[in-house]
A and B are shown apart, each in its own frame.
Chain A
Amino acid sequence: MITLLLILIPLFSSLLILSVPARFAKIFAFAASFISFAVTLAVFISFPVSADYQYLIDYNWIPSLGIHFKVGIDGISILMVLLTTFLTPLIILSARNEDNHTPVFYALILFMEMALTGVFVSLDGFLFYIFWELALIPIYFICLLWGGVNRVNITIKFFIYTLTGSLFMLVALIILYLHTPNHTFDINDLYHAGRSLDSRMQGILFLFFILAFGIKMPIFPLHTWQPDTYTTAPAQGSMLLSGIMLKMGIYGAIRWLLPMLPEAVHEYSVYVMWFAIAGVVYASVIAITRSDMKRLIAYSSIAHVGLIAAGIFAFNIQGLQGGIVQMLSHGVNVCGLFFVADIIQNRTKTREIPLLGGIRSKAPMLATAFLIIMLGAVALPLTDGFVGEFLLINGVFHFSPYMAALGGLTIILGAVYMFRAYQRTALGETSQATDHFTDLTLTEKAVLIPLVIMVLFIGIFPQVFLNISEPAVVKLLSGY
């Protein structure tokens, strides 16, 4: 029942909010998403250390086609759902009152939360696909209606790009479905069907799946939609896209690709990893040269996700565990960074790093929060980024030391662009733009403080999360 509740709370509140007066919309949305978070937290705290799916619901949705509404939570799902429900209230809170967001804006965010949660708990291929696509519609409208310059062209490119991958994934899912003995979309039947295929067929399906997941993440040559979309999206859109939505791609690969097509994974992982590692270096180098804060964060995101992708495709316990914990920390960090960028843009009307400076003297609290989140992003020990990247590089090292060496560059290069950005914005003399910079407002504090706490919490107590996901990861690796 609880799994259903986690989907229904945001769904119904997204419909209800349309009848709420505009001035209460934000409070209502925040309250609804906070309830979701509270429920998730309760599930998380009481979550048993077990590899099985908990809170299973299996409803025969379309009987004649073997399509079930089957949802359940295991150690990997719960962390993803926790990330979603933790970030959504903060994202809602971060919306600025002066932007006059209509109730539709919050309805779309809540709808998105529903779809994302659905993706993370689906145990039926068809259902997974439906949620996967459902997540695309609200974010498209958020970016289209509230986005920045040139949003029409950028958002349609984003939509068609991601839909391309999705449709190929749909074809792959149908092929797997047709190979199941009694024609079902049940995840376990699909696993069996996938494993029984010959290696050539597995390779084709691998390609179809990697298109969908690789575009969503995005992995290096498929990333061209991402910087533009992140930059042009409103702050909340960027946070949703980078904080949660890209995790759909990684989670999808972990749940639906790696255990499904073992032969193809064994054979082709190395190529995916090389592309991902190439993306790490490529995006980091570009990030160093960017002067637009949002664009810089966008490229840094490609670099971080590249390492996660490499880690999970190494398909060993360190890589997977690292990938999972890094998904959490990347979500927290990137949301924090995008919000800081939004605050700076709101105060100074610019995101150009060279025009800024001296924020620390005007706004010490913002500068401190920025510093901590940034340290998390560059993976300093005792911050969240360190645990994930350490495990990831460890995992990749077991696969290939050369890759690990190259991937490790992300820490060094990341330090270069992040410290540079911090130095030029927060330190030094104040510029014309930052002369009248004011410190955090109460709402902004309410968003940043939980993020900062999470940066430190994951960094200091990673075991809380690693213990929960470990049984599920072990089961995934052993192939059930």
Chain B
Amino acid sequence: MNTLIILSALGIITLFAEIFRFRKALFPLILLGLAGAFVATSFEYCDHPQSIFNMMIFDKYAVVFSCSLILICFLWFMMARNYFLQETSVTDHFALILFALAGAVVMVSYSNLVMLFLGIEILSVSVYVLAASDKASVLSNEAGFKYFLMGSFASGFLLFGITLIYGATGSFDLGTIEQFVASNPSSGLVTVGVLLMLTGLAFKSSLAPFHFWAPDVYDGAPTTVTAFMATVVKTAAFGAFFRLFSTSFAGVSGQWTTVLWWFAVLTMFAGNLSALRQFSVKRMLAYSSIAHAGYIAIAIVSVSTNGTSAQAILYYTLTYSIATITAFTVLYIVERNTGRNDFGAFEGMAKNNPFLALVTTVAMLSLAGIPPTAGFFGKYYIFLTALNSHNASLVVIAVVAALIGVYYYFRVIISMYFKPEKSDIPASIGSLHQIVLFITTLLTLLLGIFPDWVLRWI
């Protein structure tokens, strides 16, 4: 609960920065606040958490996911600081991000469907605005509007699903629903409700065939906002997704796992195959983000009682987000200096700035799932979870999809080591970016070698 209070207060204080003119001190204040939120959250880690008015519960799952979200957000702020300094409305944007983060925390700690919906909306509304925050750009406006329209549809599905579930069970409470579903697995209302909620959440987490909004939105939104959507939003969406389906709807898992099985397969192939043919690295990363959603969906399909699915999702979303932050930071630097975001813009990076090339290589290896990076262990753990639940065919499909993925991630690496006649990649980058790249790369390697540092907490 303290997490939520701190984050909301931080957001409100941020809004006041414009009025009381402490914009200069704002950035350190936010970092400090996030660090405080992280610490406060970790203090709530305990075996027997108290439910908060039967609305939210900060159990281990919620605490660990919140910490993961705050950490990613912290890194994101370090990455995006310069972008917002150029804008006049820096405080609005920072506040929106903080509110979105508060929404994300609600999404991973709800114990009531009303809170789920609230969390999703708090997050989504902030991100709709952020996606359109580059007011001068038509693409950014389009992205915001498209995201808003599609997101509203998804919310509609979700609400309809919640209504039907309420109609069947007479409660919004996850525990009550779980009991009802377990004792009445053949209830028609529940089946339809579950499928509608599945659709809504699949929209939010960009699972195929509901992913069509994602490439345009990711591509059109400012690069830093895209990074936020690909990391924090995705982690929160899957945190919420799994929390609901592994508890309340576990009783009828036979009804939705088949559907989600196909979603996962479609997502992996739609994401990976489309990413193959992109010219823009940003758009490639958008499709790659869709593909990764497919891998995470495998862990939900393989939902099990012994908690490995939750571990797999936590580890995968965290390490994927860290590598993605690296990739987007580099992309952001490249975009600012060359004005382009196609593969060609990366040429000459290895020569001009070996550090940048090295961290990008590690990030790409991690996204492609090559040891010893964290991305490999994430995939390994997903495969392990799936095989444990006898989903061998899904693993074989995922292996094939991962192989396709290697090709486009390596295209980035190959471009960096290609020597053009002239390259605008700067020899030195800002110290804040250096720090964030250093941290993310170190984490990618260390978490790959010592995955227990993350896994043991759930």
A and B associate? yes
Q: Give complex CA distance A134, B370 in Å.
A: 8
**From B380, which residue of chain A is reached at the shortest CB distance?**
A170
Pair B383/A163 contact, Cβ less than 8 Å: no
**From A102, which residue of chain B is reached at the shortest CB distance?**
B354
Point out the residue from B380, B392, B399, B414 that lies within 8 Å of A144, measured CB to CB.
B414
Pair B387/A171 contact, Cβ less than 8 Å: yes
Question: What bracket does the count of chain B residues touching chain A fall in?
Answer: 20 to 34
Looking at chain B's contact residues, is the secondary structure mostly helix, strand, loop, or mixed? Answer: helix
Encoded as 1 (CB less than 8 Å from any A CB) or 0, chain B from 363 to 404 comes to: 001000011100010001001100110001001100100110
Pair A171/B452 contact, Cβ less than 8 Å: no
Q: Give complex CA distance A437, B380 in Å.
A: 54
Given contacts A62-B451, A63-B452, A129-B371, are A152 and B414 in contact (CB under 8 A)? yes
> Measured between C-beta atoms, what is the minimum distance from A77 to chain B in Å?
21
Given contacts A64-B455, A144-B417, are A168 and B371 in contact (CB under 8 A)? no
Looking at chain A's contact residues, is the secondary structure mostly helix, strand, loop, or mixed? Answer: helix
> Measured between C-beta atoms, what is the minimum distance from B265 to chain A in Å?
16
Pair B403/A167 contact, Cβ less than 8 Å: yes
Pair B451/A174 contact, Cβ less than 8 Å: no
Cβ–Cβ < 8 Å partners of A137 in chain B: 365, 370
Query: B456 at interface (Cβ–Cβ under 8 A)?
Result: yes
Cβ–Cβ < 8 Å partners of B406 in chain A: 159-160, 163
Cβ–Cβ < 8 Å partners of B388 in chain A: 178
> Measured between C-beta atoms, what is the minimum distance from A8 to chain B in Å?
14
Cβ–Cβ < 8 Å partners of A449 in chain B: none
Cβ–Cβ < 8 Å partners of B380 in chain A: 170, 174
Pair B403/A163 contact, Cβ less than 8 Å: yes
**From B388, which residue of chain A is reached at the shortest CB distance?**
A178
> Measured between C-beta atoms, what is the minimum distance from B136 to chain A in Å?
38
Cβ–Cβ < 8 Å partners of A167 in chain B: 399, 402-403
Given contacts A145-B417, A164-B403, are A178 and B371 in contact (CB under 8 A)? no
Pair A134/B371 contact, Cβ less than 8 Å: yes
Point out the residue from A160, A168, A170, A174 that lies within 8 Å of B407, measured CB to CB.
A160
Cβ < 8 Å to B, chain A residues 129-145: 129-130, 133-134, 136-137, 144-145
> Measured between C-beta atoms, what is the minimum distance from A102 to chain B in Å?
10
Query: A41 at interface (Cβ–Cβ under 8 A)?
Result: no
Question: What bracket does the count of chain A residues touching chain B fall in?
Answer: 20 to 34
Cβ < 8 Å to A, chain B residues 394-437: 395-396, 399, 402-403, 406-407, 410, 414, 417
Query: A156 at interface (Cβ–Cβ under 8 A)?
Result: yes
Point out the residue from B384, B452, B456 that lies within 8 Å of A174, measured CB to CB.
B384
> Measured between C-beta atoms, what is the minimum distance from B71 to chain A in Å?
21
Pair B414/A175 contact, Cβ less than 8 Å: no
Cβ < 8 Å to B, chain A residues 312-337: none
Q: Give complex CA distance A194, B403 in Å.
A: 27
**From A171, which residue of chain B is reached at the shortest CB distance?**
B395
Pair B407/A156 contact, Cβ less than 8 Å: yes
Encoded as 1 (CB less than 8 Å from any B CB) or 0, chain A from 114 to 155 comes to: 000000000000000110011011000000110000001000
Encoded as 1 (CB less than 8 Å from any A CB) or 0, chain B from 438 to 458 comes to: 000000000000111001100
**From B448, which residue of chain A is reached at the shortest CB distance?**
A130
Q: Which of B371, B383, B410, B414 has the most CB of A within 10 A?
A: B371
> Measured between C-beta atoms, what is the minimum distance from B295 to chain A in Å?
13
Q: Give complex CA distance A156, B414 in Å.
A: 9
> Measured between C-beta atoms, what is the minimum distance from A198 to chain B in Å?
15
Pair A133/B376 contact, Cβ less than 8 Å: yes
Cβ–Cβ < 8 Å partners of B383 in chain A: 170-171, 174
Pair A168/B410 contact, Cβ less than 8 Å: no
Point out the residue from A130, A145, A159, A175 that lies within 8 Å of B387, measured CB to CB.
A175
Cβ–Cβ < 8 Å partners of B384 in chain A: 65, 174, 177-178
Pair B372/A168 contact, Cβ less than 8 Å: no
**From A164, which residue of chain B is reached at the shortest CB distance?**
B403
**From A136, which residue of chain B is reached at the shortest CB distance?**
B370
Q: Which of B376, B384, B388 has the most CB of A within 10 A?
A: B384
Pair A174/B387 contact, Cβ less than 8 Å: yes
Pair B372/A134 contact, Cβ less than 8 Å: yes
Q: Give complex CA distance A144, B416 in Å.
A: 12
Cβ–Cβ < 8 Å partners of B407 in chain A: 156, 160
Cβ < 8 Å to B, chain A residues 207-235: none
Q: Which of A62, A160, A168 has the most CB of B within 10 A?
A: A62
> Measured between C-beta atoms, what is the minimum distance from A129 to chain B in Å?
7
Q: Give complex CA distance A280, B406 in Å.
A: 32
**From A141, which residue of chain B is reached at the shortest CB distance?**
B417
Pair B410/A156 contact, Cβ less than 8 Å: yes
Cβ–Cβ < 8 Å partners of B452 in chain A: 62-65
Cβ–Cβ < 8 Å partners of A178 in chain B: 384, 387-388
> Measured between C-beta atoms, what is the minimum distance from B304 to chain A in Å?
12
Cβ–Cβ < 8 Å partners of B370 in chain A: 133, 136-137, 163
Q: Give complex CA distance A187, B384 in Å.
A: 18
Given contacts A62-B452, A130-B372, A178-B387, are A159 and B410 in contact (CB under 8 A)? yes
Mark A residues whose CB is within 8 Å of B.
62-65, 129-130, 133-134, 136-137, 144-145, 152, 156, 159-160, 163-164, 167-168, 170-171, 174-175, 177-178
- A-B pairs with lowest CB-CB distance, top 10: A133-B371, A167-B399, A130-B371, A174-B387, A62-B452, A174-B384, A152-B414, A164-B403, A160-B406, A171-B395
A62-B452, A167-B402 given; 9 more Cβ-contact pairs under 8 Å: A65-B451, A65-B455, A133-B370, A145-B417, A159-B406, A159-B410, A163-B403, A167-B399, A175-B387
Supply 7 A–B pairs (Cβ within 8 Å), ascending by A: A62-B455, A144-B414, A152-B414, A160-B406, A164-B399, A171-B383, A171-B396
